[in-house]
Amino acid sequence: MKMFPKKALLALGIASVLAAYGGTQTSNQNESNSCDSLLATAEQHGFRIGTGVNVSHWLSQSSLRGKEREELITKKDFDSIAAMGFDHVRIPIDEEQMYDNDMRRNEDAFVLLNNAINWSIENKLRVIVDLHIVRSHHFNHENEKPNSLFEDRTAQERIFSIWADLQKDLKKYSTDSVAYEFLNEPTAPTCAQWNELVSEFIQNIRKEEPNRCLVIGSNRWNAPGTIDSLSIPQAEKNVILSFHFYGPILVTHYRAPWHPLTKFFTDKIDYPGWIIKDTSCYEKYTEEQRQRLRGLNINAVADSLVPHFNHLKEFADSLGVQINCGEFGVYPYHIDEEARLRWYRDMARLFREHKISNTHWCYKGDFPVVKEDGSANELPAILLNR
């Protein structure tokens, strides 16, 4: 399977949750099926989701074009996703794939996006169209210049123009089949700046589509700790609040070559409990690296997250909207297999217990739920509690 570069999610974005990631652990593998239980309780107007996957590194974060891009994701992939038991997909798209610098559509990309949506609908999969990267905003600041979206009115008008054009193309799909995600992992200097853009986005979409479900992420990389800083109009119920969860980062990104906080550490880790049990290994690292490791080495036990997950769910319930974990996962290529699967079992349990819909990162990219031959690996059964 081709390896793709995964985003370098910064630990700062989830620090408020990870700071308390300790305590005691319990497990229960007898809960009802994830999708069924979530669908039964979702409060959305038509667009209801349970457990899904991100179809990543295709129309986003990829240099593939032409035949290579066309053949990377095909109808059989959506057939397979549905057959595994998932009920929705999140499809990241990038401005530079969909539009040129003059806002002219790249029609080939629109054909692929519409194909994907139609194949999803044929398979009874709901779709979140996620505007992942725009020229004025990259969640990891990997644009050629610093993010300008939150200070530059021209950049803001550009993203609203993108959504106005996307809406022209996407509004033909029923509101119970397709949702729009404004922007992936916003990095606004203040939550107030992000809320201003969110408000304008909602107002713009509602002019033509009062019932379209809109997915809104929390500021600072969709951090769980900033979700209650989101400002959503009280009367607005066709919204899904979105957070991302990659904690503890030393577990989920162990030896990931793109991540500045974890790529240098090659000694043994474990989960649950203290991630680095033998801290004598610190001696081989620089003082700066040792300080990083001391901060990352926590007593990681899932039940310590229960108060935080309770808060996330209660905040969404107070607004009468659904909440979704739009990304989560573990980089699989170096971590101990059993430790990785224990993390997944804990996360799947927490999502079920709190009735939080969830969208795994990803399908067949760098955190896959399939083997190289395209068949399901061990993750779908865990995520779907089967």
What pLDDT sits at residue 141? 74
Total of domains in the chain = 1
Q: Is residue 18 part of a domain?
A: no
Closest by CA to 213, choosing from 313, 110, 90, is: 90
Query: Among all chains, which residue has been given the structure tokens 């054009």?
Result: 165
Cα–Cα distance, 163 to 39 (Å, whole number): 28
The mean predicted confidence, pLDDT, of the chain is: 90
Place 263 in a pLDDT band, splitting at 50, 70 and 90: confident
What pLDDT sits at residue 239? 98
The domain that holds 79 is classified in CATH as 3.20.20.80
Q: Is residue 375 part of a domain?
A: yes
Q: Which residue has the higher pLDDT, 251 or 260?
A: 251
Q: Is residue 254 part of a domain?
A: no
Per the CB < 8 A criterion, the answer to whether 182 and 222 are in contact is no
Cα–Cα distance, 327 to 98 (Å, whole number): 22
Q: Is residue 220 part of a domain?
A: yes
Percent above pLDDT 70 for the chain: 87
DSSP H or E segment with residue 179: strand 178-181
Q: Is residue 289 part of a domain?
A: no
- Over residues 31-84, the pLDDT tens digits come to 444 444 444 333 445 899 999 999 999 999 999 999 999 999 999 999 999 999
What pLDDT sits at residue 140? 81
Cα–Cα distance, 187 to 169 (Å, whole number): 27
- Per-residue pLDDT at 16 exceeds 70: no
User: Three-state DSSP class for 275?
Assistant: coil
- Per-residue pLDDT at 178 exceeds 80: yes
- Over residues 147-166, the pLDDT tens digits come to 999 999 999 999 999 999 99
DSSP H or E segment with residue 132: strand 126-133
Q: Is residue 261 part of a domain?
A: no
Q: Which residues is 242 bridged to in the sheet?
A: 217, 324
**Averaged pLDDT, 359-366:** 96
Q: Is residue 285 part of a domain?
A: no
Domain that holds residue 167: 31-248+306-383
- Residue 341: what are its φ and ψ, rounded to 5°? -70, -30
Q: Is residue 278 part of a domain?
A: no
What pLDDT sits at residue 146? 82
